[in-house]
């Protein structure tokens, strides 16, 4: 496929949701593709512009593998329990088209397009900052589109992350280059965490979202909190006096594009219930 404008990618294991994800994009006119990476093989055929890559490695590495295999002008991190339209609205929804328009209007390859994210029916999109709801800290983007070439130039995902927070690190690195988050208020994406996790992969929600979140949060704060502690600093104090650094405190440790990148985890694996090779 040629001239792909948007590549959406994810670490993905809930195959029952994949076609719902794909079908929610069909009304868009931009040329798009989907790249999912994980260790669960779908038992159905995938359309031409839907790639699946087998990898038995941690989620952050799956995301990097997916990004490496993307060809779009823009790439966007996503999740397999997302949809880019809702059946209940009853009219064509071209939310990916609208997000792409925001990027073109920004006329800046450093623009991060934050799609208006509805999580389990709750509009908490504007609550995503470096420190949660603390609006004086930099705004983050739970579901975003960014320039693929820029992503590669800054080193992609850092291998010290396990399953979460790596995208916040990417956003902070683009801020460091003078980039900005563009709030795409009428370009919606819907996340169905609660619905999808019920009856899904045993232990997946507890291990990956809760246990590894804390470990990844510590990694993020060690990279950007210059003084004091944030959400998960020593002693468990929450938001003690802190100073965020405008420059990354440690060099990026990128994933190496080795032959075994899909079979051997690079960097920390975590101590939770789910383990990877």
Residue 130 class from Cβ within 10 Å (0-12 exposed, 13-18 middle, 19+ buried)? buried
Instruction: For residue 224, give Cα distances in angstroms to 186, 203, 244, 249.
Output: 31, 31, 6, 6
> Is residue 226, in this structure, part of any structural domain at all?
no
Mean local confidence (pLDDT), 143-172: 97
> Is residue 260, in this structure, part of any structural domain at all?
no
> Is residue 147, in this structure, part of any structural domain at all?
yes
Q: How confident is the model at residue 239 (pLDDT cuts 50, 70, 90)?
A: low
Query: Where do we find the tokens 């990128």?
Result: 254
> Is residue 256, in this structure, part of any structural domain at all?
no
Beta strand ranges found along the chain (DSSP E): 6-11, 32-38, 50-54, 74-77, 82-83, 111-119, 144-147, 180-191, 225-227, 243-244
Query: Tens digits of per-residue pLDDT, 85-126?
Result: 987 666 778 999 999 999 999 999 999 999 999 988 889 888
> Is residue 141, in this structure, part of any structural domain at all?
yes
Structural domains of the chain, count: 1
> Is residue 17, in this structure, part of any structural domain at all?
yes
pLDDT of residue 205: 46
pLDDT of residue 230: 55
> Is residue 265, in this structure, part of any structural domain at all?
no
Residue 200 class from Cβ within 10 Å (0-12 exposed, 13-18 middle, 19+ buried)? middle
Name the DSSP class of 130: T
- Rounded Cα gap, residues 232 and 152, in angstroms: 29
Mean local confidence (pLDDT), 41-64: 96
Query: Tens digits of per-residue pLDDT, 150-161?
Result: 999 999 999 999
> Is residue 95, in this structure, part of any structural domain at all?
yes
Query: Tens digits of per-residue pLDDT, 13-44?
Result: 999 999 999 999 999 999 999 999 999 999 99
pLDDT of residue 231: 52
Domain extent for 171: 6-208
Domain containing 178 — which CATH number?
Answer: 3.90.550.10
User: What are residue 146's DSSP bridge partners?
Assistant: 75
pTM score, whole prediction: 0.91
Residue among 220, 219, 218, 151 at smallest CA distance from 179:
151
Mean local confidence (pLDDT), 165-181: 97
Beta strand ranges found along 154-261 (DSSP E): 180-191, 225-227, 243-244
Among 2-6, 224-228, 271-275, name the most confident range.
2-6
Residue 176 in tokens: 């460091």
């Amino acid at each position: 496929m040629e001239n792909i404008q948007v590549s959406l990618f994810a670490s993905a294991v809930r195959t029952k949701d994949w076609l719902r994800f794909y079908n929610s994009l069909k009304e868009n006119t931009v040329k798009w593709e989907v790249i999912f990476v994980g260790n669960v093989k779908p038992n159905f055929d995938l359309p031409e512009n839907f790639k699946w890559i087998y990898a038995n490695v941690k989620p952050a590495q799956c995301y990097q593998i997916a990004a490496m295999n993307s060809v779009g002008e823009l790439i966007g991190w996503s999740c397999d329990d997302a949809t880019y339209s809702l059946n209940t609205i009853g009219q064509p929804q071209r939310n990916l088209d609208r997000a792409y328009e925001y990027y073109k209007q920004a006329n800046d390859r450093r623009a991060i397009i934050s799609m208006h994210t509805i999580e389990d029916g709750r509009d908490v999109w504007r609550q995503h900052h470096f420190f949660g709801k603390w609006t004086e800290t930099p705004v983050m983007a739970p579901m975003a589109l960014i320039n693929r070439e820029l992503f590669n130039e800054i080193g992609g995902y850092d291998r010290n992350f396990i399953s979460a927070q790596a995208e916040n690190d990417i956003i902070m690195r683009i801020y460091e280059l003078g980039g900005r988050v563009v709030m795409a208020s009428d370009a919606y994406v819907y996340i169905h965490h609660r619905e999808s996790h019920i009856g899904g992969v045993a232990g997946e929600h507890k291990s990956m979202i809760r246990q590894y979140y804390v470990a990844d949060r510590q990694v993020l704060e060690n990279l950007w909190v210059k003084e004091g502690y944030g959400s998960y600093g020593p002693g468990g104090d929450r938001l003690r006096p802190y100073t965020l650094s405008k420059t990354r405190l440690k060099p990026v440790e990128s994933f190496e594009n080795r032959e075994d990148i899909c079979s051997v985890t690079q960097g920390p694996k975590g101590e939770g219930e789910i383990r990877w090779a």
